[in-house]
């Protein structure tokens, strides 16, 4: 989820990086942080406006009864 309204172009850069890391076995927390760091290193996306509002919500593991 995002904490404020975000730019669609910035989101379209962040989310593939995030999901790729998750699909490679990283926890969502680590995947999000790595994706944010990757955007920070790119001149066009280094402004926190593009990557800082994203946070995780809820339980990312399935709960078994």
**Residues in a beta bridge with 54:** 2
pTM for the predicted model, two decimal places: 0.80
User: Which pLDDT score is estimated for 65?
Assistant: 46
Residue 64 has pLDDT above 60, yes or no: no
Q: 17 with 39: CB under 8 angstroms? A: yes
User: Which pLDDT score is estimated for 6?
Assistant: 78
Q: What is the pLDDT of residues 3-59, one digit of tens each?
A: 667 778 888 999 999 999 999 999 999 999 999 999 999 999 999 888 888 888 776
Residue 63 has pLDDT above 60, yes or no: no
User: Which pLDDT score is estimated for 42?
Assistant: 94
């Amino acid at each position: 989820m995002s904490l404020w309204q975000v730019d669609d172009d910035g989101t379209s850069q962040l989310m593939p990086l995030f999901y790729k890391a998750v699909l490679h076995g990283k926890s969502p927390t680590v995947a999000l942080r790595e994706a944010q760091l990757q955007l920070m290193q790119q001149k066009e996306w280094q402004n926190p406006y593009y990557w800082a509002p994203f946070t995780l919500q809820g339980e990312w593991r399935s709960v078994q009864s």
